[in-house]
Every structure is written in C-alpha cells, then in structure tokens.
Amino acid sequence: MRKKIVAGNWKMNKDYSEGLSLFSEVLNMVKDEVRGEQLVVVCAPFIHLNSLSGLAKGSSQVFVGAQNAHQEASGAYTGEISAGMLSSIGVEYVILGHSERRQYFGETNELLAKKTDAALKNNLKPIFCIGETLEEREGGKHFDIIKSQLAEATFHLSAEDFSKLVIAYEPVWAIGTGVTASSDQAQEIHAFIRAEIASKYGKEIADDITILYGGSCNPKNAAELFAQHDIDGGLIGGASLKSRDFVDIVKTFNN
C-alpha cells in the first residue's frame, strides 16, 4: 500500500525560536492523528534542521526534510549544503525541483537529475516537484510539461531508486495564490503522472508511488483533494506555518 504523506514546506519563514515552537506544537498535536501508512514531513530552512531532527527522533511518523541540496558531495561551492551533510544530521527528505527553485534560481531538469542522484546516494528521499505555469496550461501544454519534467529529471533512475521518490504535482498558478486546482483537475494530472510512471517502470511501481498535490491546499479543501484516487496527500506551503491549520490538514487523512 502506498504511503499517505502530508508535507509542510515552510519556505524562507520562521526564525530559530519560532521554528522550534511550531515544530514542537505540530509534533504534539499529530501524535494521535497519524497511523499506519501515514507520514508527516516538515521541510524547514537549513538553520532548523539539526534541532528538528533531534526532536523528531522518537517519532516513527514525523520526519524532517530540507528544501534543497547541492548536487556535489563537497568542495568550493560557497553557501551551499550537500545531501551528505543533511543526512549526517538525521534529515530524511529533501524537496527538489520546487517551482520557486526553477524560477528564481534557474534550476533545470538536467541539474535536478544530478541533485536527485546526490540525494538518493545519501539516503535522502526526494519530494520531487513538477507542475505547469498558467501560460502553459492555457496553451494546452500541461501534459507535455509534466511529462518532460518527469522524464528528464527522474527517468534515468533505476526502478529501485525511482521507487524511493515522492512526487509532488504543484501547478505553479496555484502556489501561494489562493487558487487551488479543482479536485478533478488535480486528479486528472495525478492519474497522468501515474500512467507515465507505469509506462516507464511498470504498474506495480506506479501503484506504489506517493503523489502529493501542492498549491493553496488548506484545511477546507484538503479533504476533497485527498479523497481522489491518485492523490496521496499534500505539499503544504502557507498553511504549514500555523500548527492548527497544518494539523487540521493532517487530520483529513482520517476523515
């Protein structure tokens, strides 16, 4: 059975003490809410990760993730952090390919293929983001964009490595805008992603891969989105910054 995941993406928010409080609240509040194949991942800025992974140590269902990692193992890359460094402090997940990294930092599918390799080599599980812009959707190109993002950045992986990925479909036009994809729109793309994976790696791997929806997901719309057959949880930005909202989204697993 594939895992159900609610992942928070704090982006560049929360100073050190705010981050500790938010994470401690989440940890406390989700204790009795997450069971079986359900997981919660909190992807925080680098400065928080060491402390948060210490706090999460006792939990079998709450994990800590980074929001980026460099593709090289070490060296003269001022200001960067490697996948090995992250796993050395107990980080287990890393967001790769977020549209903000693609847009503001010029990350390409080719670079993301290397980052994915580096993450997997260091036992980090990538939460790999794909999604089209509004212009691409309006131009009817969304299926092609999704297909090429997936194929160019991840289809070089062995089946064993590919099955360690979590995929996040995040339409760029829905991120931080308050406009959510309808559950039908999201389901349509999720089913397409799963079919693409099946044609490359076979049905068994495709059926087992967790595919998250991201983009203005909140406590009000999460239940309907997560009820779709191919939507296995969410990647939550704005609503992950308030413990109550984030935990209410986590709770929709159980509705």
**Which sequence positions are flagged as catalytic?**
98, 170
For ligand PGA, the binding residues in 17-36 under the rule CB under 6 A are none
**What Å distances lie between residue 131 and 9, 200, 225, CA to CA?**
16, 19, 16
Q: Is 249 in the site for ligand PGA (CB under 6 A)?
A: no
Q: Is 250 in the site for ligand PGA (CB under 6 A)?
A: no
Between 170 and 196, whose beta carbon lies closer to ligand PGA?
170
Is the separation of the CB atoms in 194 and 206 below 8 Å? yes
Q: Is 9 in the site for ligand PGA (CB under 6 A)?
A: yes
What count of residues does the chain have? 255
Rule CB under 6 A: choose which of 118, 162, 238, 245 binds ligand PGA.
238
Cβ-count burial of 170 within 10 angstroms (0-12 exposed, 13-18 middle, 19+ buried)? buried
Report phi then psi at 65, rounded to 5: -130, 155
Q: Is 120 in the site for ligand PGA (CB under 6 A)?
A: no
Cβ at position 88, least distance to ligand PGA in Å:
25
Between 9 and 82, whose beta carbon lies closer to ligand PGA?
9
Rounded CA gap, 123 and 133, in Å?
31
For ligand PGA, the binding residues in 145-184 under the rule CB under 6 A are 170, 175-176
b/e for 63-92, b at 16 or more Cβ within 10 A? bbbbbbbbbeeeeeeeeebbbbbbbeeebb
Between 1 and 12, whose beta carbon lies closer to ligand PGA?
12
Report phi then psi at 212, rounded to 5: -95, 150
What is the number of other CB atoms lying within 10 angstroms of the CB of residue 56? Answer: 22
SS3 call for 224: helix
For ligand PGA, the binding residues in 71-110 under the rule CB under 6 A are none
Residue number of the CB atom closest to ligand PGA:
237
**Following CA atoms 226, 232, 237, 242 in sequence, which dihedral angle do they give, to the nearest 10 degrees?**
60
Between 4 and 11, whose beta carbon lies closer to ligand PGA?
11
Q: Is 237 in the site for ligand PGA (CB under 6 A)?
A: yes
* Contacting range for ligand PGA; rule: CB under 6 A; set: 49-57, 189-197, 201-209, 210-218: 210-218
Rule CB under 6 A: choose which of 19, 171, 215, 219 binds ligand PGA.
215
Rule CB under 6 A: choose which of 26, 94, 236, 249 binds ligand PGA.
236
Q: Which residues bind ligand PGA (CB under 6 A)?
A: 9, 170, 175-176, 214-217, 235-239
